[in-house]
Amino acid sequence: MKPDDALLSRGGVARRDVRCLRDGGQVERQDWVAEEVPVALEFNGIAHAVMLATPLDLEDFALGFSLSEGILASRAELYDTEQVEGPLGITLRLEVAGAAFARLKDRRRAMAGRTGCGLCGVESLAHVSRALPTLPDAAPLQPRAIARAMRELSVLQTLQRATGAVHAAAWCASSGDIHLLREDVGRHNALDKLIGGMAAARLQDASSGFIVVTSRASFEMVQKTAAAGVPLLAAISAPTSLAITTAQAARLALIGFVRGDNLVTYTHPERLALEPWSANHVCKPTT
């Protein structure tokens, strides 16, 4: 599918020559693919991490990564972001407060980022898990709001429709309406971009809504969601065991296998307005 003019004006897609096999014959054509480039993050002149990312919404990515990794305690600790393009990739130069820089040095990482990995290069086991806020009580969400958000998400994924190669993360109001969406080749990157976009927009009450993602719900996806103060994460695929343990401790409702009106609640079902449950009711296992 050809990207629309709005998407082309933002970038993030490229054209490549391909050869397709169709009905026993061969067809040569040009195809649209998602861009993936090395993105380096520097804090006060010190190189910290290199991630592979789609070169869209990179200021949101820089802010969201810094917040979700615990480098920044708040948006106010980020003074400036400069984006510098070079022959090898893009460098994001962040100027941060002294307290944030000291925090970074205390838990120094040397990460070689990959689209499917969020913990590459962590120096010790102590750095894997960090203290997360205990999420506050909130009004229970209707399951139909989650189903609505996931349906709307597929419609709003312009980059995914054009390339078939990216993930999305979106913050949704309690009604299921999507208020903010970000896309990237990496699921962690998409979530970081969303968290950065939420902070940049000064979203006042993130806890009043929830986040949906087009991926599995790994440990770091849960950790980033909880750090953003959002009490529910809904994923189209499965969570991992460590994600479930982390969500349970943070009082985050972790939802998986959101397919149509069906879903699986792994933690804190009290955050959903569920019908009275009977142990005698049998449903087919999720596959």
Amino acid identity, position 106: D
Cα torsion through 12, 15, 21, 25, rounded to 10: 150
Q: 144 is written with which tokens? A: 């139909």
Instruction: Provide the residue-wise pLDDT of the chain in tens; the chain has 287 residues.
Output: 566 666 666 778 999 999 999 888 999 998 999 999 999 999 999 999 999 999 999 999 999 999 999 999 999 999 999 999 999 999 999 999 999 999 898 766 444 344 445 544 444 445 556 778 889 899 999 999 999 999 999 999 999 999 999 999 999 999 999 999 999 999 999 999 999 999 999 877 899 999 999 999 999 999 999 999 999 999 999 999 999 999 999 999 999 999 999 999 999 999 999 987 665 555 555 55
Amino acid identity, position 72: L
Q: Who contacts 259 (Cβ-Cβ below 8 Å, separation ≥6)?
A: 236
CATH T-level topology, domain 143-271: Cytidine Deaminase; domain 2 (3.40.140)
Ramachandran quadrant class, 12 (left: phi over 0; alpha: psi -120 to 50; beta: rest)? left
CATH T-level topology, domain 37-127: Ubiquitin-like (UB roll) (3.10.20)
Q: Which of the residues 20, 117, 120, 283 is marked catalytic?
A: 117
Q: 199 is written with which tokens? A: 């902070």
117 is catalytic: yes
Q: Which residue from 53, 47, 64 is spatially nearest to 109, judged by alpha carbons? A: 47
The residue extents of the domains of the chain are: 37-127, 143-271
